[in-house]
């Protein structure tokens, strides 16, 4: 079985292909359990060193239709479309954001449409598709009303995935992801990056600036649960998505202050970095427009698992990723 992962060298892309390489099976469009024999990664960075013959890397631009056509060719059975420009970047640079987040998605869908087989396409959407006057907890029936260009492009992507599926061009499934915490790596320009750095940096012995107030809440989900969701969504039969091709995922509601307290509870004998609270009104405005909590009864009925609390998320980061993060900084 051959699959493509766009954004394959991003945080989630790397976790996804490594999880699949460790033996996770995928179910094809005929309902058969299959081992993955080839993974093609597509991203904009230089070629990495990956010591596995099943992995091929292609560097390119998702907004270039010809490059995407050369990426998604006959023999590809599944596509995980993770490539995107993050929220604050897309807000600052409208043209770039739309070119990558909207045009890039259309390019992927058009290339998938031309395949001889019916490919599965997993599209990563976001809770940034909600906004305005929101209930305390966003649920399946909550209306989408994005307040950012990033959110608008994600709504458009969901609608395209639904329509291409309706027309029988692809078998698409869109997942609305809560904020991911904790991401390894360095801070990026996403408005939500603080939800990882406020945990990641102090535990790595680094000081960090938090741009929002302590009572700023986010709906969060751990990387582990998100990767499980990608694979589970892929493997579900198409009948599971009869109510619609887009699915909200459940995220726990946690404030910046509660994240800081969890770091303190789990620091052990470590000398942790300091959290500096320096308010950024632009970031605060974006964050305030996002859901504070999400709950999907539909996702629960479909068998998607969720995190229980912030302590579980922090413990998982310490056990699975902290050593990697510390080595990234070159600290002891």
Q: Render 10-60 in DSSP notation, one character per residue.
A: SHHHHHHHHHHHTT--EE-TTS-EE---EEEEEESSPP-----TTEEEEE-
Residue 325, SS3 per DSSP:
helix
Say how far apart CA 197 and CA 330 lie, in whole Å: 17
Burial of 330 per CB tally in 10 Å (0-12, 13-18, 19+): exposed
Q: Which residue out of 57, 130, 150, 217 is catalytically annotated?
A: 150
Say how far apart CA 291 and CA 136 lie, in whole Å: 8
Q: Is 150 a catalytic residue?
A: yes
Say how far apart CA 161 and CA 183 lie, in whole Å: 27
Q: Which of 247, 249, 274, 240 is nearest to 260 (CA)?
A: 274
Sheet of strand 171-177, all strands in order from the earlier edge strand to the far edge: 55-59, 38-43, 2-6, 76-81, 120-126, 171-177, 246-248
Q: Render 156-204 in DSSP notation, one character per residue.
A: HHHHHHHHHHHTTS-EEEEEEE-EE----S---S-TTTHHHHHHHHHHT
**Residues designated catalytic:** 150
């Amino acid at each position: 079985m051959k699959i493509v992962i766009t954004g394959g060298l991003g945080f989630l892309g790397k976790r996804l292909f490594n999880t699949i390489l460790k033996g996770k099976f995928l179910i094809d469009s005929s309902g058969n359990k299959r081992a993955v024999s080839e993974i093609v990664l597509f991203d904009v960075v230089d070629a990495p060193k990956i010591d596995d013959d099943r992995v091929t890397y292609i560097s390119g631009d998702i907004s270039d239709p010809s490059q995407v056509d050369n990426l998604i060719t006959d023999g590809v059975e599944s596509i995980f479309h993770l490539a995107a420009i993050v929220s604050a970047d897309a807000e600052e640079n409208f043209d770039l954001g739309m070119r990558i987040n909207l045009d890039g998605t259309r390019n992927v869908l058009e290339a998938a449409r031309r395949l001889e087989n019916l490919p599965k396409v997993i599209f990563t959407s976001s809770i940034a598709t909600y906004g305005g006057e929101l209930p305390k907890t966003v649920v399946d029936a909550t209306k989408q009303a994005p307040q950012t260009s990033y959110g608008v492009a994600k709504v458009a992507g969901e609608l395209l995935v639904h329509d291409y599926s309706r027309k029988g061009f692809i078998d698409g499934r869109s997942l609305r992801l809560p904020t991911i915490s904790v991401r390894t790596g360095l801070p990026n320009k996403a408005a939500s990056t603080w939800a990882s750095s406020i945990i990641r940096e102090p535990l790595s012995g680094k000081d960090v600036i938090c741009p929002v107030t302590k009572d700023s809440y986010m709906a969060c989900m751990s990387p582990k649960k998100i990767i499980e969701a990608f694979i589970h969504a892929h493997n579900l039969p198409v009948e599971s998505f009869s109510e619609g091709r887009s699915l909200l995922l459940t995220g726990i509601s946690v404030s910046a202050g509660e994240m800081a307290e969890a770091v303190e509870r789990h620091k052990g004998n470590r000398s942790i970095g300091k959290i500096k609270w320096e308010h950024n009104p632009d970031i605060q405005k974006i964050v305030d427009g996002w859901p504070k909590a999400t709950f999907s009864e539909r996702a629960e009925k479909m068998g998607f698992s969720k995190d229980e609390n912030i302590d579980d998320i922090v413990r998982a980061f310490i056990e699975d990723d902290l050593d990697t993060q510390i080595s990234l900084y070159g600290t002891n």
